[in-house]
Amino acid sequence: MKLSWTVSKFIRHNYFRPPTTSPALTMIKLLVANKNPIFRQGIRSYLLNDSGVKVVGEAAGKRQIFLKTTELKPDILTFDAGADFTEVRNFFHSFRKEFTGIRVIYFLQKNEAHFCKKMLKLGADAYLSDFDTKEHLMEGIDQIMMKETYVSKSIQAAIIDNCLPKFKQKLKLQELTEREKEILTMISNELITKEIANNLFISTHTVESHRKKLLLKTHARNTAGLVKYAIENGLT
């Protein structure tokens, strides 16, 4: 893959020095950290023929990351510590304290929205998932070289998909009339048809008519389903 304009610009402004014997530019140095050797080899092979980024080392554990970072002084660290958020957060805090100028690309093991949203709080420079390709990795490198945060489309999609059910549920609640919400609240509070009718000064036939509409609108199968819907939407 050809070096993008923004990466080239970064190299010129930050790494280029007048050559003494060779006109070659200094490569952007990448340290790959992952417990899985197959993953490390995969990243290395991705960048084998790249003209602007070079894998300068690998690390299998957190101790190795600190040692290799001190020794090799990479510009970027790619990191994947697993699914333990507390463990990852503690590592990040220690790493940022020790190495302030190094950019971090975090690879998420799970393409799940709740997991993604947690990891986004870590403060890494780029976030990719196991489903992303070399093109996404290069996009991430390109962005963080410009001191911008990068979140791959697969992670964005996972977060959006997670939000949609709640959004749809909110729409369904808005479709209920005030009277229907009122009756649904009473149903969830275990009032029977006659008690609801007496409290609202309407007939039992009207209450049953509202109950049928509620079943249709909430897609509930029975009264238990209506109660569940009321609880989930804060109507109890």
Tally of domains within the chain: 2
pLDDT at 16 (0 to 100): 47
122 and 51 inside one domain: yes
Q: Which helix (H) or strand (E) holds 56?
A: strand 53-59
153 and 220 inside one domain: no
pLDDT at 127 (0 to 100): 87
Tens digit of each residue's pLDDT, the chain (236 residues):
455 555 555 545 554 444 443 434 578 999 999 888 888 888 888 888 777 899 999 998 888 999 999 999 999 999 886 667 778 888 888 998 899 889 999 888 666 666 666 777 777 888 888 778 888 898 899 889 888 888 888 777 777 666 555 555 554 566 888 899 899 999 888 888 999 999 999 999 999 999 998 988 888 888 888 887 887 777 76
pLDDT at 23 (0 to 100): 39
Range of the structural domain that residue 205 is part of: 168-232
130 and 196 inside one domain: no
pLDDT at 121 (0 to 100): 73
154 and 173 inside one domain: no
**CB 27, CB 57: distance < 8 Å:** no
- Name the domain boundary from 127, 159, 191: 159
Give dist(CA 25, CA 175) in Å, integer. Answer: 62
- Name the domain boundary from 136, 159, 182: 159
85 and 202 inside one domain: no
11 and 45 inside one domain: yes
Residue type, 81: A
60 and 110 inside one domain: yes
| Tokens linked to 49 | 């023929």
pLDDT at 202 (0 to 100): 94
**CB neighbours of 104 closer than 8 A, spacing ≥ 6?**
76, 77, 78, 79, 92, 95, 124, 125, 126
Please count the residues of the chain: 236
Q: What is the DSSP letter of 47?
A: T
53 and 136 inside one domain: yes
**CB 110, CB 158: distance < 8 Å:** no
DSSP string, 91-114: HHHHHHHH-TT-EEEEEES---HH
CATH code for the domain of 116: 3.40.50.2300
